[in-house]
Amino acid sequence: MEKKRILVADDSETITTLLTTALESGGYLVTTATDGYETYELGKTGVFDLVILDQLMPGLLGLEVIDRWQAEGVTTPVIVLSGVDDDRTVVDSFDRGAVDFVRKPFRVPELLARVRHRLSV
Amino acid sequence: MTEVAQLATLIIFAANALLVAGLIALKTTHRIRGRQQAKRKRRYMGLVSRHIAYPNCTDPITPAMATDPAFLDAVIDVRNAVVGPEVETLRGIVDRHGVMAHQIRRLRSSFPLGRRLRAAVALAELGDETAAGVLIHHLSDREPEIRIQAAKGLGRMGWTPAIDVIVGRFATETPWVRARFADTLLGFGSAATWPLLAYITVNHRFEREGPVAAIRALAALGDDQATQTLIEVLHEATDPEVKIATVETLGALGSPRAVPVLRNQIRSPDWRIRAKTVTALGEIGDVGSLDLLARALTDSDWWVRRNAAAALAKVGGGVDRLYEALIGKDRFAADAAAESLADAGELAAARRRIGEGRPRERDMTLVGHMSGDRP
Amino acid sequence: MIGDLLGIVGEGILIYFILMQLYLAYLAARSAAVLRRSHHLGRFGRITEMLSSRTSPPVSIVIPAYNEVAGIVDSVRSMSLVRYPRLELVIVNDGSTDGTLETLVAALSLERVTIPYRGDIPTAEIRGIYRGRGATDLTVIDKANGGRGDALNAGLNAARYPYALCTDADVILDPECLMRAMQRVVEDRERTVAVGGNVRPLNGCRLELGHLVDAEVPKGIIERMQVLEYLRTFVASRPAWSDMNAHPLVSGAFGVWKRSAALAVGGFTRGHMGEDMDLTMRLHRYHADRGIPYRIVYEPSAVIWTEVPSTRRVLRRQRIRWHRGLMSAVRDFMPMTFNPRYGTLGLVTWPAMVLFEYLAPMIEAAGWLIIPLALALGTLNSSSLLWLAAIAFGVGLANSLISLMLDESYGYFNSPADASRLLTMALIENLGLRQMTVVWRIRALFGGRTVRAWGDMERRGVAGLATGP
């Protein structure tokens, strides 16, 4: 079976390294992006099976990236990752069609499980 | 005269030459060291990440890494990205390789500030209960930032015997340290409530800043058990800052039991207390205070009026009062009411209904007000 | 007889320069001690706790904008990445004629609203108020043109929070700068009335999406000279001023003001060419006169980046404006000079500002006339002249080198090429470049009542800087 492709977008090198390592060892192909525009451009290609998207990024905010993708008809499922602990971001994320929301700091096995679950449905 | 000038010139130019040499040396070492450290740190981050993601990972961690600051930095960065059992995994890694013992020695020594700070941060982020004794000792370190790190570490591990020591230091700490101490108390949860209350009750008549920080910490803890004591504090307090903090905290705790004592504060001559009081009543959502809040819309102070408008939006039935204020004669109250209605989503709803062709009368009033039309 | 007099005056002028450089050297030494601590704390101390703490006072960021259509949307985005818990952006459109307002309204889907606006400080007419309902709490005030100070006042009127960060639309803020500055407020909420930040030239730096990627020394010689000037000021002088609680100038490009204190002294002075120094000094005077304990501080770890003039023409205009601002401040605050009531400010830093900043161009120009004359008349011992000049040059050079050394702790400019560029600059700036600014500052003394209320920069917008000319 072909490996699933995941786009990890976060401006923190720690998070991208951690997620890349964890996901690659889990058998996924991982691409990383560190700002909003890069994420938007990469996601537009539509080659990804899942996006893990940080809310607070330079350029475009995570939620703005989702807005743009939707305007362009990109339907890749998105898990929003956020260190901002406010309910509005959570609600806004789901309102925009995000499939899941994970707060930073997070549990790695839990995030992997969420990814597995998302990619199996 | 000339000899002195010659000598001075000579010294100054020698000093300049030394400065140039020093600058070049400094730049070069910083650059080389910085690059190497960044490279190692990236490698370590990958290594640590693998250990985290797969607990049975066998990639070796060598003793050389254990004493490398870049390794510690990598572990701390990863530690801040994860929660739960992964933190234990990280602790296991650093413990097995003697990293923590090394850092404890550094914290205890009279090393330069930078190294001691790094050690304190490491213990605060990664220390387990075996480090608690060291951290308690350093709650009275001569360096404020180390005291903060010590408290943070104790809070993170929830080491409750530390609560009394931390609260006890409130009286003598600088405001910055006190603010950070108050944050660390969150780590202890409601176990910190009673020590804080005891401290506030004893001290609020004699000093200001310590009790204020303690009262704010109670708001963050959100433990309703504090309400009764705070009501008593509000009755007794004379210091305006203490009163303001208490009113705010009672609002944040949200207990209806605080309503009577809060209503008394609305008559305070101090506008700051009135302003916080209306906000607190709004947060509690006390329907019985509607008249009082509506009257506060015409308070002599602008902030009180603005806060009253915001509070009304949070109390059941308050929206009607805001619409009434919208057509009132008081221009500022009307503007405040409009702002508050918009923040509560009424403006968007009104526009939607107008768009759908079935507006209510007050929708037109609100939208009209916002676009600057005045009757 | 006249020749002797000229000789004495000539030596006096050189001694004046030596004293000036020694004063700067004292400030640098004192700054070094402050920076050393600040460096350790900045590197290892964690202040991210401020992000979730109830002890962090909320802040309004006030940004005046005049004809900023090119960069205003980018700068809103850049500012909304500033890390701080409770924050609002207040942009004041000061009667722009280039569609700044329309661009903002369209790009950020703002809607026109009324807010309970308080006219605490009178300003030019407010034409409308707009709000955004996006992720950032954003208010735009549209007003008739009244200049930078007037726009800032409108922002202070509309600000909802007790502290206002007044800055510019074309700066890049370090994401941590506000936390670093507000740490100083939390340290002493009651006394702190203003906090200044570390302003650095943006020219030559690499930017990506409103984020600084790498700090490099700019190419142009005019720009390089300013890099050195900014380092001497912000790294090697202001930490010492602040340490003595005698900070006479919280920069307009980054200043956190306690709103109630700024309002108490009537806000910024409309149409003033140095409105930042003016407000700082009025705050000093207000509190000292009434015996209210206060402090005005400078935080070296609160870093922001601003574009500095890259051509002689623009730099000349800026320096003339700065010197005129200084002239009116010297006039307005004359009674504070050498006045012990104002403590170290009244006895040391403000008199030094008058002596070494305000008077310097005149004294230097006098030196150019008198020293050659005295030499020609043979009344000035040419060897003692030479030694005095060498000392003045040597101490000045040492000050630049110490500034570069202190700046090392920030870790910018970290390539060997950068180091050699700055070192060369330190050596050659006295050979013509500084003299050029002296001529401009003397020019400021004469005529020209025309006031340019809005800066001198030709605005290209934040995004354009990365590739800008």
Catalogue all structural domains in chain C, each as residue range(s) with its CATH number. 22-347+458-465 (3.90.550.10)
CB C351 within 8 Å of CB C337: yes
The size of the A-C interface in CB pairs under 8 A is: 22
pLDDT tops 90 at residue B113:
no
B108–A contact, CB cutoff 8 A: no
% of chain A at pLDDT higher than 70: 95
Is C402 within 8 Å of B19 when comparing Cβ atoms? yes
C405–B contact, CB cutoff 8 A: yes
* Residue burial C313-332, b: 16+ Cβ < 10 Å; e: rest: ebbbbbbbbbbbbbbebbeb
The boundaries of the domain holding residue A71 are: 5-120
pLDDT tops 90 at residue C114:
no
CB B340 within 8 Å of CB B302: no
C81–A contact, CB cutoff 8 A: yes
pLDDT given for residue C469 in this prediction = 26
C391 vs C11: CA distance, rounded Å: 12
- Read off the pLDDT band of C195 (50, 70, 90): very high
Q: DSSP characters for C25-64? A: HHHHHHHHHHHHHHHHHHHH---GGGGG-TTS--EEEEEE
Query: Coil, strand, or helix at residue C197?
Result: strand
Query: H or E element: which one contains C172?
Result: strand C171-173
pLDDT tops 50 at residue C459:
no
Is B27 within 8 Å of C53 when comparing Cβ atoms? no
C188–B contact, CB cutoff 8 A: yes
Nearest to C205 by CA among C354, C307, C125: C307
Nearest to B265 by CA among B249, B281, B254: B281
∠ CA(C285), CA(C287), CA(C291), 5° rounding?
Answer: 115
Beta-bridge partners for C361: none
Say which range, A30-44, B6-20, B51-65, B351-365, has the weakest mean pLDDT: B51-65
**Window 314-353 of B, Cβ < 8 Å to C:** 332-333, 335-336, 338-339, 342, 347-348
pLDDT given for residue C461 in this prediction = 44
Chains sharing 3 or more CB pairs under 8 A with chain C? A, B
> How crowded is the C-beta side of B60, counted as CA atoms within 13 Å?
3
**Parallel/antiparallel/unpaired status of strands C126-132 and C111-113:** antiparallel
The ipTM is: 0.85
Taking residues C407-424, report their average pLDDT. Answer: 84
List of chain A residues whose C-beta atoms are within 8 Å of the C-beta of residue C210: 58-59
pLDDT tops 60 at residue C464:
no
Is A25 within 8 Å of B53 when comparing Cβ atoms? yes
Residue C196 phi, psi dihedral angles, 5° rounding? -95, 160
Provide the terminal-to-terminal Cα distance of chain B, rounded to the nearest Å: 86
**Parallel/antiparallel/unpaired status of strands C192-201 and C254-258:** antiparallel
CA distance readout (Å), B359 to B213, B313, B349, C112: 49, 20, 10, 20
pLDDT given for residue C463 in this prediction = 38
Say which range, A81-90, B246-255, C33-42, C287-296, has the weakest mean pLDDT: A81-90
Ordered by start, the domain boundaries in chain B are 158-253
State both tokens at C321: 């404006």
Query: C272: left (phi > 0), else alpha (psi -120 to 50), else beta?
Result: beta
User: How much helix, strand and coil, in percent to the nearest 5, is found in chain A?
Assistant: 45, 20, 35
Residue C171 phi, psi dihedral angles, 5° rounding? -105, 160
Q: DSSP characters for A22-63? A: HHHHTT-EEEEE-SHHHHHHHHHT---SEEEEESS-SSS-HH
List of chain A residues whose C-beta atoms are within 8 Å of the C-beta of residue B85: 107
> Taking every pair of C-alpha atoms in chain B, what is the biggest distance, in angstroms?
97
Say which range, B58-67, C91-100, C156-165, has the weakest mean pLDDT: B58-67
pLDDT tops 60 at residue C26:
yes
Taking residues A44-71, report their average pLDDT. Answer: 88
Q: Search chain C and give the residue with CA nearest B112.
A: C40
pLDDT tops 90 at residue B138:
yes
B314 secondary structure, DSSP code: T
pLDDT given for residue C55 in this prediction = 79
Q: What is the 3-state secondary structure (H, E, C) of C361-408?
A: HHHHHHHHHHHHHHHHHCCCCHHHHHHHHHHHHHHHHHHHHHHHHHHH
pLDDT given for residue C453 in this prediction = 53
Q: Search chain A and give the residue with CA nearest B43.
A: A17
C431–A contact, CB cutoff 8 A: no
A67–C contact, CB cutoff 8 A: no
Chains sharing 3 or more CB pairs under 8 A with chain B? A, C
B56–A contact, CB cutoff 8 A: no
Of A14, A26, A107, the CB nearest to B84: A107
B207 vs B194: CA distance, rounded Å: 19
Count CB-CB contacts under 10 A for residue B140.
12
Is A107 within 8 Å of B53 when comparing Cβ atoms? no
Nearest to B131 by CA among B107, B112, B114, B115: B107
Q: Which residues contact B292 (CB under 8 A, 6 or more apart)?
A: B263, B266, B281
Specify the CATH number for the domain of residue A45.
3.40.50.2300
- Read off the pLDDT band of B375 (50, 70, 90): very low
Is C209 within 8 Å of A59 when comparing Cβ atoms? yes
Mean pLDDT across chain B, nearest whole number? Answer: 89
Cis ω before A105 (30° cut-off from 0): yes
pLDDT given for residue C200 in this prediction = 93
CB B260 within 8 Å of CB B232: no
With tokens 């956020």, the residue in question is A82
* Residue burial A87-118, b: 16+ Cβ < 10 Å; e: rest: eebbebbeebebbbbbebbbbbbebbebbeeb
pTM summary value: 0.87
A23 vs A51: CA distance, rounded Å: 12
Summarised one tens digit per residue, pLDDT across range C52-71 is 777 789 999 999 999 988 88
What residue spans of B82-143 are helical by DSSP H? 85-96, 99-108, 113-126, 132-137
pLDDT given for residue B114 in this prediction = 83
B328 secondary structure, DSSP code: S
% of chain C at pLDDT higher than 70: 92
Q: Search chain A and give the residue with CA nearest C213.
A: A58
C425 vs B249: CA distance, rounded Å: 57
Of A18, A26, A107, the CB nearest to B49: A18
Q: Search chain B and give the residue with CA nearest C420.
A: B24
- Read off the pLDDT band of C215 (50, 70, 90): confident
Q: Considering the domain delimited by B158-253, tell me its CATH architecture.
A: Alpha Horseshoe (1.25)
Give the residue with greater pLDDT, C75 vs B116.
B116
C11 vs C18: CA distance, rounded Å: 11
CB C366 within 8 Å of CB C13: yes
CA distance readout (Å), B209 to B174, B278, C257: 9, 23, 21
Of C81, C135, C209, the CB nearest to A37: C209
What residue spans of B173-226 are helical by DSSP H? 175-185, 193-203, 209-221
Summarised one tens digit per residue, pLDDT across range B286-317 is 899 999 999 999 998 888 999 999 999 999 88
List of chain B residues whose C-beta atoms are within 8 Å of the C-beta of residue A26: 53
CB B243 within 8 Å of CB B214: no
Taking residues C324-330, report their average pLDDT. Answer: 93
C39–A contact, CB cutoff 8 A: no
pLDDT tops 50 at residue C466:
no
Domain count, chain A: 1
C149 vs C209: CA distance, rounded Å: 29
pLDDT given for residue B206 in this prediction = 86
Distance of residue A54 Cα from the nearest chain B Cα, in angstroms: 13
Residue C411 phi, psi dihedral angles, 5° rounding? 75, 15
A61–C contact, CB cutoff 8 A: yes
Taking residues C215-240, report their average pLDDT. Answer: 92
Beta-bridge partners for C62: C90, C166
**Parallel/antiparallel/unpaired status of strands C111-113 and A100-103:** unpaired
**Parallel/antiparallel/unpaired status of strands C163-167 and C254-258:** antiparallel
List of chain A residues whose C-beta atoms are within 8 Å of the C-beta of residue C80: 61
% of chain B at pLDDT higher than 70: 99
Of A26, A104, A112, the CB nearest to B81: A104
Beta-bridge partners for C111: C131
- Read off the pLDDT band of B64 (50, 70, 90): confident
Taking residues C335-356, report their average pLDDT. Answer: 95
Q: Which residues contact A83 (CB under 8 A, 6 or more apart)?
A: A54, A55, A56, A103, A104
State both tokens at B313: 């939006």
pLDDT given for residue A85 in this prediction = 61
Is B183 within 8 Å of C112 when comparing Cβ atoms? no
B92 vs B270: CA distance, rounded Å: 55
Give the residue with greater pLDDT, A25 vs C314.
C314
C57 vs C60: CA distance, rounded Å: 10
